[in-house]
Amino acid sequence: MKNFFRIILGMALFMALVSGVFAQNVNRQELEENQASVNFINYEGPHSRIDTVAQIRAIGYDLGRAIRNGAVQAGTQNRYFVIHCAADPEGDRYDADVFGLGVDVGVDHIRNLRLILQGYLEAAYGYSAADAALLARFITIYNAVFRGDWNFYSTRYKSIVTQNLVREKAGLSIRYDEWPGQTLITIPLGTGIPGSLSAIDTSGLTDPDVIDSMRSDEGRGIEDRQDMVDLKQREAEEAARLAALERQRLEEEQRRLQREREEAAAAQRRLEEQQREAQRQQEEARRRQEQARLDEEARRISQEESRQRQQEARQQEQAAQRRQQELAQEQAANEQRRDELAEQEREMERRRQEADEIQRLADQKAQEAENERQQIAQDQQEMIDSGSTAGAVAAAQGGQPPNGLLAAGIVQNNASLGRLYRVDPANGSVIQTSGMNTVNTRTITLSGARIFAIAGINQGNGAVRLVEINNDTLEMLKQGEDDIHPNSLLWANGSNLYAITVVDGKNYMARYDTDLAKQAQSASEVHPYASCIFQGDKVLTQSANGSPILLNGQTLK
């Protein structure tokens, strides 16, 4: 998926040591001329020292590892250094990592600088190599576009960030010889949480000025922009999944909290009733003491009997007093528990608000991805219509039908999901890329000029379905209405398509026509990894327990 990253790995990377300490002023005229289109001026020639890709990447990786382990600052001022700038909220302003290039740095090519930033993002925030490479490219363009724009930095970032910036060094010059000692790159932070796809603020990196800069290139930055759309879509899916999980946990905790509140309320009623009873017994004991004294004075009872009755009454009163003290302690403990439950309720309300924020982030990223996807499609069409040098590439990416061979690429290491391509039969280079990135590449099936497959992910509003893919644009033309098992393959036999459908959580073999409408379904369940062998008018597959079963190819009975 990430051709840019593969190109980096395929090139010989070089790095030069700066022999002297110098700092040139920013070439304002050069910057203004290149503001619309960021074209970096790199050193191209012999080097006194050759560093491997791993060595260059390790520069950033070591810095990132220190930040991830809790350091606020890492590196040395005369070489490469980074300052992690995070503080309490300041309105809508952002945190950032400030990545500095000291006077003794030797980096002189944008690809090497991006490789250093890639290593940093991998170590500090847990991004994959491909995502980190993509973000590094956007970070360098972003910092070149806003080089020296102090109004932008001072209004966009928190004070802790601007305190670690210098006006004339903020951002990245387009000239490599103006990098040493004159560069403070800002990396805008989103969540800042390692392992989160939203750790870096992709919305900031795709600021309209940045996209306009990319669109001014001959190829309009189509591939990188498509990859950023993919990343934002994955951000949206990740955030939606986290929000849903948190809401589920909150619902469970709310039920538990409600039970404990009811128990605490019932305990309070019981304690109050027992307190009243103890108070009644205490008053009754006092009344008995007084009555014994009066009976003695009236000579209705003897002095000895009076003393005995008063002693018994005092013991009763003392027992009632002790019980009242015990009940008071129990009430205090129960009251404390009720306070704890109230605090838990307040904490849950805070978490509900956070879940809502996460869902808003998911919605925002999904909307951004959709808007940018539409803009990319518009740019592709304009390139085709304009007949530009890049028009042929644009045509291959969604315009007129290209001449090429259909191919598939896998975008994940642990799944067969990917996207379709067309490649030049002469040299294998990619001439067209599909925007769909959830096609199960093991299921791609050709029927004449038509392309069928199983695609999708069971997340959020997503579903796994049969799809027909447009042979010209490589985009989804139609989707089926039935849920398909994620591990199902797709079998074609004549004009019929067979797949494992999921109904009420159970797996069945189903036959579809080429309009993706279900024509028949097996009565018995099948194994989720079932296969199909067609012999005459019969199809042999496997039952839920794995044993072979024979079905009629048409009725599946």
Confidence of residue 332 (pLDDT cuts 50, 70, 90): confident
DSSP H stretches of helix in 21-73: 28-34, 53-68
Task: Specify the pairing of strand 491-493 against strand 496-503.
Answer: antiparallel
Confidence of residue 22 (pLDDT cuts 50, 70, 90): very low
How do residues 451-472 score in pLDDT, each as one tens digit?
A: 999 988 775 446 789 999 998 8
Nearest residue to 231 (alpha-carbon basis) of 294, 138, 335, 159? 138
Half-sphere exposure of 148 (CA within 13 A, CB side): 14
Write down the pLDDT at residue 328: 84
Residues 6+ apart with CB under 8 A from 22: 103, 180, 181
CA R_g for the chain: 36
Write down the pLDDT at residue 387: 59
How do residues 63-117 score in pLDDT, each as one tens digit?
A: 999 999 999 999 999 999 999 999 999 988 999 999 999 999 988 889 999 999 9
| pTM (two decimals) | 0.56
Residue 388 per-residue DSSP state: -
The CATH class given to the 391-552 domain equals mainly beta
Most confident range (mean pLDDT) of 291-300, 382-391, 505-514 is 505-514
Distance from CA of residue 122 to its chain's centroid?
15
Confidence of residue 50 (pLDDT cuts 50, 70, 90): low
Residue 420 per-residue DSSP state: E
- Helix, strand, coil percentages (3-state) for the chain, rounded to 5, are 45, 20, 35
DSSP H or E segment with residue 75: strand 73-75
Confidence of residue 428 (pLDDT cuts 50, 70, 90): confident
Least confident window among 134-143, 240-249, 547-556: 240-249
Percent of the chain exceeding pLDDT 70 equals 88
How do residues 193-215 score in pLDDT, each as one tens digit?
A: 999 999 999 999 999 999 888 88
Q: If you average pLDDT over every residue of the chain, what do you get?
A: 84
**CA 181 → CA 26, 100, 146, 150, 529, distances in Å?**
11, 8, 18, 18, 60
Contact in structure between 230 and 436 (CB atoms under 8 Å): no
Q: Distance between CA atoms of 74 and 84, rounded to whole angstroms?
A: 9
Write down the pLDDT at residue 554: 94
Write down the pLDDT at residue 21: 26
* pLDDT at residue 189 greater than cutoff 90: yes
- The whole-number average pLDDT for the span 432-444 is 86
| Angle, helices 129-145/208-215, rounded to nearest 10 degrees | 100
In the chain, where are the structural domains located?
3-217, 240-372, 391-552
Write down the pLDDT at residue 37: 66
Write down the pLDDT at residue 467: 92
Locate 63 and state its tokens: 């810095």
Locate 125 and state its tokens: 């925030």
Write down the pLDDT at residue 56: 92
Write down the pLDDT at residue 298: 83
DSSP H stretches of helix in 387-418: 391-396
Q: Is 14 strand, coil or helix?
A: coil
Write down the pLDDT at residue 49: 60
Locate 320 and state its tokens: 């009632």
Q: Distance between CA atoms of 71 and 83, rounded to whole angstroms?
A: 9
Write down the pLDDT at residue 24: 28
CB atoms within 10 A of CB 210: 21
* pLDDT at residue 425 greater than cutoff 60: yes
Confidence of residue 402 (pLDDT cuts 50, 70, 90): low
Nearest residue to 426 (alpha-carbon basis) of 405, 456, 451? 405
